[in-house]
Structure 1
Amino acid sequence: MSNPIRSNDPLPPPLGRDAALFLDFDGTLVGLAATPEAIEVPPALVALLGDLKDLLGGALAVVSGRQIDVLDRFLAPLRLPAAGEHGVQRRDAKGAMQEQHPPDLVPVLEIANELARVHEGLLVERKHAAIALHYRLAPQLEAVCGDAMSRAIAERPQLELLHGKFVFEVKPAGVNKGIAIDAFMHEPPFAGRVPVFAGDDTTDESGFAVVQPRGGVGIKVGSGPSLALHRLESPRAVYEWLVQARDQLANAPRPAPEEASPRNPG
């Protein structure tokens, strides 16, 4: 990361009607849990996201390491535009799905499963085109997990290894959240708007690298070094910021017709 930990990172600015809002899921919208299925999604959060999507003319997307069908399950009845598995999957605002053909992950899966069999506390998550090895319940095994997953892709340039919060994930090379956000920004209703992206993990840094050069806003959630120029301390702070944004947008006067089109941030 190019920036050190900063204690004086400013809070994000208010959302304008010309914003395109991109939100990570785990650690940003919801708190992290011992296992991926143990998270809690408050009904008020689902309603809030639905309100914001309407107020922003549909320009709200979830950009996550989760699979899109899993996001849909947690956020039901919403079906938001979304990027899943760090951009391997992407559903546009019209509901059309784009999805990369999964690579051969059997050797990686075998290594991860064997490690989980030997060491208590490890959890293997098989996604559409990725394998995630979670060690949140056994943090002392970080180096063991990292070494094993690195060996698993050592001679497979079509794959790359991500290191997130208590997880090592093998996914197709050449895809990331930044690329997914860039794709959204070339499509309606996101095109021509000011991109705003909030995320908490190292896997979100590619998103900050895309939105900020466009004149947009990167928001790091929690502590740690980041490219993002703004910061919120927790998912609770994200929720409160989004509530404030919804209320301000709902009460803001509607622009005149000649001013209604979102500006192009360049």
Structure 2
Amino acid sequence: MNKTLPPLPFDNVALFFDFDGTLVELQATPEAVIVGDELRTLVTSLGRELNQALALISGRSLDSLDHLLAMPTVNVSGSHGMQFRCGSSGDTFLHPNTVTLPDALIKDCQQFCHKHDLLLEDKPLTVAIHYRSKPEMENQVEAYLQQLAARFSSLDLSIQAGKRIRELKPSGINKASALDYFMSQPQFKDRTPWYFGDDVTDEDAFTWVNERHGVSVKIGEGESNAQYHLASPQEVMAFLQDRLAVRDNHDRK
């Protein structure tokens, strides 16, 4: 992966960002993340320069993102491509293949996590088991969710892997399908997609972007389909702030 990103031509690109591990540092629990005004200012400035051709695509629910960001007019997809809000109207909608997880499945997950002292995140369109505090349980968590998906096979669920997390969600919905939707919208159409992400959950999006001659950027360590690499959310912030400064200086001339 190349560490030197190409120029960022604001007039014809669309920017897409994962959230945790990309714009903010990963924390021990999802609730421990704190969003500063610097990030809100950056997202606002980028949106203005791009005529709002910017979106966040996260595994978090919309409610969780809204709680942290408090930016209700930002284009966003939550729960790995299951939830959407696009435009300033505030209207939200679900991917048509989204299913409601039955109470019996959620209760089973609660009992498993209680037994093994793991964190269960009910999003509520998916359920995610965090095992950051017990990484040795990765195989056991994977096997448990495989058994659970087989038990509820009529729902056609798949396991989404992430950094010390495994999540049950409907098959065929991911961050690539979220990109497909956004790029069909008027403010994104005919622009070149750039996608920034840090996790296994972003690999489908990287591939989608590469196939459309866009720019894919992996944040942090690890093998990836992405073309470019930045080390941390701080490097993402620095790159974007620098590009905005260049744009501002050019406009003043």
TM-score (structure 1 length as normaliser): 0.87
Q: What does residue 114 of structure 1 align with? A: 111
Stretches of structure 1 lacking an aligned partner (at least 5 in a row): 1-7, 255-266
Q: What does residue 59 of structure 1 align with? A: 53
Q: What does residue 134 of structure 2 align with? A: 138
Task: Provide the C-alpha distance between the structure 2 equivalents of 1:108 and 1:146, rounded to a whole number of angstroms.
Answer: 15
- What is the deviation of 1:14? 2.6
What is the letter of the counterpart of residue 238 of structure 2? E
Preserved contact between residue 108 and residue 131 of structure 1 (Cα < 8 Å): no
Q: What does residue 128 of structure 1 align with? A: 124
**1:174 counterpart SS class:** coil
| Larger helix share, 1 or 2 | 2
Preserved contact between residue 196 and residue 216 of structure 2 (Cα < 8 Å): yes
Matched, 1:98 2:96: no
Q: Deviations over 1:83-130 (max 9, x none)?
A: 10010011112443221453334333223211221112x110111310
- What is the deviation of 1:139? 1.3
**1:71 counterpart SS class:** helix
**1:28 counterpart SS class:** coil
Task: Provide the C-alpha distance between the structure 1 equivalents of 2:236 and 2:30, rounded to a whole number of angstroms.
Answer: 20
Match among 193, 196, 199 for residue 195 of structure 1: 193
Match among 144, 151, 160 for residue 147 of structure 2: 151
RMSD of aligned residue pairs (Cα, Å): 1.6
Q: What does residue 68 of structure 1 align with? A: 62
Q: What does residue 258 of structure 1 align with? A: none
What is the letter of the counterpart of residue 202 of structure 2? D
Preserved contact between residue 108 and residue 149 of structure 1 (Cα < 8 Å): no
Task: Provide the C-alpha distance between the structure 1 equivalents of 2:2 and 2:51, rounded to a whole number of angstroms.
Answer: 29
Task: Provide the C-alpha distance between the structure 1 equivalents of 2:136 and 2:217, rounded to a whole number of angstroms.
Answer: 30
- What is the deviation of 1:78? 4.8
Q: CA distance change for structure 1 residues 170 and 105 in 2, over 3 Å: closer, same or farther?
A: farther
Q: Deviations over 1:53-90 (max 9, x none)?
A: 00111011000000112112211145310110010011
Q: What does residue 247 of structure 2 align with? A: 249
Q: What does residue 205 of structure 2 align with? A: 207
Q: What does residue 262 of structure 1 align with? A: none
Q: What does residue 239 of structure 1 align with? A: 237
Task: Provide the C-alpha distance between the structure 2 equivalents of 1:212 and 1:248, rounded to a whole number of angstroms.
Answer: 26
What is the letter of the counterpart of residue 39 of structure 2? L
Q: What does residue 34 of structure 1 align with? A: 28
Q: What does residue 257 of structure 1 align with? A: none
**Equivalent residues, number:** 246
Task: Provide the C-alpha distance between the structure 1 equivalents of 2:166 and 2:68, rounded to a whole number of angstroms.
Answer: 23
What is the letter of the counterpart of residue 236 of structure 2? V
- What is the deviation of 1:206? 0.9
Task: Provide the C-alpha distance between the structure 1 equivalents of 2:102 and 2:108, rounded to a whole number of angstroms.
Answer: 10
State, as a whole percentage, how many aligned pairs show the same letter: 37
Preserved contact between residue 162 and residue 203 of structure 1 (Cα < 8 Å): yes
Q: Which runs of 4+ in 1 moved over 6 A?
A: none
